[in-house]
Structure 1
Amino acid sequence: MDGNAQAQRCLIRQFAGYAKSISLRYAATFEEAEEIVNDCFLKVFNNLHGYDKAQPFKAWFRTIAINTAIDYYRKNLKWQGQLSLDDLEVADWSDDILSEISAKEILIMVQRLPPTYRMVFTLFVIDGYSHKEIANMLGIQEGTSKSNLRDARRKLQTMIKLNFPHLYQLYNWPNKGFNEN
């Protein structure tokens, strides 16, 4: 496929949606996601010689897409200000709430997380990496990964409370104490 424009277009058509679904989970904006997708395909085309045909292509592609998102995060981290924790009210979490919120609404809230929290949350919750793996990938301590995940969940809970107050009423959350976690 090296240098074969037609084969490259075919691969892009086949995997663009998949690449975008991965990059949107890590990016703060649609534009960032597009940059990650473009970088991903560039890496795929430049590294096709390293693909082991005995392995599933989609898994190899997914790894490149996730690593590209991590690289994008690292590259742009220097441009992001110091993250500070706001005083957060933390509610009890219920998976029932997620059934009341659309995937698009959840994605928008995840994209609003600070970059560090978004990265750890996505790697752990969506892509299934362990805290040890995340720590190695991002160059942080395992405890930092756990802390960032906890804080990401708290921020998401706060966003849900603000954006979907009717769900809190439905589950009688206003009557429960906060900061119980």
Structure 2
Amino acid sequence: MKVINLHQEEKEIIQLAVDNNRFAQQKLYSKFSAKMLSVCRQYIKDIHLAEDVMITAFMKVFTNLKNFEDKGSFEGWIRRIMVNECISYIRVQKQVKFIEDETYFEESFNNIESQFSVDDIQFLIDGLPDGYKMVFNLYAIEGFKHQEIAQMLGINEGTSKSQLSHARKMLQAQIAKLKNYNNGTE
């Protein structure tokens, strides 16, 4: 049995893609497009618009591939480009309104994944106002810290915290409604 070094194979494909090898670019696109569409879909409700943004972001990936320094995960590098492209798209559409509210409360969710389907959770997140949704995704899903989110979005760190707090409160209210609905008590 031959052991294949997958990381080395990926490095070789990346190098070929840097040299504008269309087959290598297609291979990278095929490998990562489903995951990256999911990332874009977290920020953009309409699947067709999310796909358009993903394709635009992949063009940036291929254009900037020579700048990938192999210091971290290639998938993480692509993901960051996707997130930034989603934020840019939403900014251009002027869909985001951030409430300058410095009050926030730390709250946590308890195992909502086990109680609801991914589609249910995505439906609830889609129901958030765009500012809440963007901060929630950046914090809870992407793992950015409030300082990083504030810098990315051009807002105060306190605004990021309050947007997250408001998003969590809205989600908790929606989760309670969904639980009641699923239990037949509403």
How far 1:18 moved relative to its partner? Answer: 1.6
Residue from 140, 148, 157 that aligns with 2:155: 140
Counting aligned pairs with the same residue, the percent is 36
TM-aligned CA distance change 1:31 to 1:102, over 3 Å: same
| In structure 1, C-alpha distance between the alignment counterparts of 2:169 and 2:115, rounded to whole Å | 18
Residue from 67, 76, 79 that aligns with 2:84: 67
Corresponding residue for residue 179 of structure 1? none
Equivalent residues, number? 162
Corresponding residue for residue 55 of structure 2? 38
Q: Contact 1:28–1:115 (CA<8 Å) still a contact in 2?
A: no
TM-score (norm 2): 0.76
Corresponding residue for residue 45 of structure 2? 28
Stretch of structure 1 that moved more, 159-168 or 22-31: 159-168
| In structure 1, C-alpha distance between the alignment counterparts of 2:108 and 2:175, rounded to whole Å | 10
Supply the AA of the counterpart residue of 2:127. R
Deviations 1:49-95 (A, max 9, x none): 11113543222112212211221222222xx38678xxxxxxx9651
TM-aligned CA distance change 1:118 to 1:19, over 3 Å: same
Q: Contact 1:109–1:159 (CA<8 Å) still a contact in 2?
A: yes
Highest relative contact order (Cα 8 Å, sep 6+), 1 or 2?
A: 1
Supply the AA of the counterpart residue of 1:121. F
Give the root-mean-square deviation of aligned CA atoms. Answer: 2.6
TM-aligned CA distance change 1:109 to 1:46, over 3 Å: same
TM-aligned CA distance change 1:98 to 1:7, over 3 Å: closer
| In structure 1, C-alpha distance between the alignment counterparts of 2:60 and 2:85, rounded to whole Å | 8
TM-score (norm 1): 0.78
Runs of 4+ in 1 over 6 A off after TM superposition: 167-170
How far 1:13 moved relative to its partner? Answer: 0.5
